[in-house]
Amino acid sequence: MSSTTKRGQGTLCVHAGTRPDEASGGLVTPIHVSTAHRFPHKELTEAGYPRYHTLPTQLAAADKIVALEGADACFVHSSGLASIAVSLLSFLRSGDHALIQADIYGGTHHFVTAEFPRLGIAFDFVDFSDVSRLREAARPNTRLVYAETPSNPLLGVVDLAAVAEAAREIGAVSVCDNTFATPICQQPLSLGIDIVVHSGTKYLAGHSDLNCGAVACRAAHAERLHETTVNYGPTLNGMDAFLLERGLKTLALRMRRICDNGLAVARWLSAHPRIRHVNYPGLPGHRNHHVAARQMRGFGGMLSFELDGTAAQAEAFAARLTLIPQAVSLGGVESLICFPRLTSHAKMTAAERAAAGISDTLMRLSVGIEDADDIIADLSQALVG
């Protein structure tokens, strides 16, 4: 099915990209793992090879993401960070400058600070919630602008259309990490962003059992991203591409449930006397709720909140939860909770965390597909203690 067919995202999740098995009549894309391919073969001008991103199983997963993001091309990789590295290294070289959103995923932050100096790439971390700062920080050699929205763990929201416009004026390629929103809730390319990256490990695969990533783009950037993929070699293998395509079939269904649960839990928490503050883009009190309401079709399942109490009381609360385990990662079918202070932001000093707005009682909740009543009941019993 072509990605230009006007079908709903629920239908695209099930059908787009899937390559039925002609030999057996099987409807499911077979798991292609061959590293050796006949050559010459029929009308092919190049032999198939997994690192070249030619396996039908890889193309099935990638084409599903193409359809969902409204993209022209997509490449699937062995982790989200592999896709992020491919997107950055495709468009930056020694002597260039990049503008990076200040509150981004810790692994991306670390990649930039550890690798860019070695490569001679200059960068500035900028608060993208005020796009005028982006223009102020631009230099003549600024080649790339990197955004993430909603962001981790405070669920900050950035106006992607404004970021894309500023990047165009600057003459830079714009990249957006769409992991938290997924294409079901937000399509950055339709807002003018050039490149979308995903940690497919989270919602796209969706079952907490697969490490993968994806980069989706317009035709103009496809060749460069493919070249970087082939040269650095992080292409997703056929077995895992199969799992990614399988997970994607239920993405729209899962996200609808996750958005409903996320809103229900955020509302319940924000009304609870022992909760000091809830960060969720779907709440009218969120600082950028109006931007989220404009550019998102659902507010997702990620939220964070602060307990009114001490760090020890917050930890005791988390320990009393029986349904929701304390665990890192997010975006799976099961609800998970963690303390950013102890996980994603553990490397920061207490002063740096305070400056970033990450308090000792801040907890991040990834709301799963369980029954909302059960998630709320678990939070409720643990708050009573």
**Nearest residue (CB) to ligand PLP, 29 versus 152:** 152
C-alpha to C-alpha distance for 326 and 364, rounded to whole angstroms: 10
CB of 56 to ligand PLP, least distance (A): 23
The Cα 19–Cα 30 span in angstroms is 8
Instruction: Work out whether 178 is an interface residue with ligand PLP (CB under 6 A).
Output: no
CB of 196 to ligand PLP, least distance (A): 12
Site string for ligand PLP, 151-170 (x = CB under 6 A): -x------------------
Task: Give the list of residues 6+ apart from residue 299 with CB closer than 8 angstroms, or none.
Answer: 185, 259, 262, 263, 280, 281, 282, 292
Considering only CA atoms, which of 150, 134, 153 is closest in space to residue 142? 134
Q: Tell whether residue 305 is a contact of ligand PLP (CB under 6 A).
A: no
The verdict on 100 binding ligand PLP (CB under 6 A) reads no
Nearer to ligand PLP, 202 or 257 (CB): 202
Q: Which stretch binds ligand PLP (CB under 6 A): 52-60, 104-112, 160-168, 221-229?
A: 104-112
Cβ-contact 174, 195 below 8 angstroms: yes
Closest CB 244 distance from ligand PLP, rounded Å: 11
Q: Which two tokens stand for residue 322?
A: 């029986």
186 binds ligand PLP (CB under 6 A): no
First to last CA, the chain: 54
Which residue number, 9 or 108, has a Cβ lying nearer to ligand PLP? 108
With contact defined as beta carbons under 8 Å apart, do 64 and 18 qualify? yes
Site membership for ligand PLP, residue 201 (CB under 6 A): yes
**Residue 101 interacts with ligand PLP (CB under 6 A)?**
no
Cα(301)–Cα(134) distance, rounded to whole angstroms?
28
**Nearest alpha carbon to residue 146 among 157, 130, 160:** 160
Which of 58, 182, 199, 261 touches ligand PLP (CB under 6 A)? Answer: 199
Q: Which of 375, 305, 379 is nearest to 335 (CA)?
A: 375
CA distance linking residue 381 with residue 373, whole number of Å: 12
Who's near 73: CB < 8 A, 6+ residues apart? 62, 66, 216, 217, 218, 219, 221, 222, 225, 226
107 binds ligand PLP (CB under 6 A): yes
Member of 32, 53, 143, 202 binding ligand PLP (CB under 6 A): 202
**Nearest approach, Cβ of residue 383 and ligand PLP (Å):** 27
57 versus 152: smaller Cβ distance to ligand PLP: 152
Closest-by-Cβ residue to ligand PLP is 80
Applying CB under 6 A, among 63, 96, 103, 177 the residue interacting with ligand PLP is: 177
Chain positions contacting ligand PLP, by CB under 6 A: 79-81, 105, 107-108, 148, 152, 177, 179-180, 199, 201-202, 211, 213
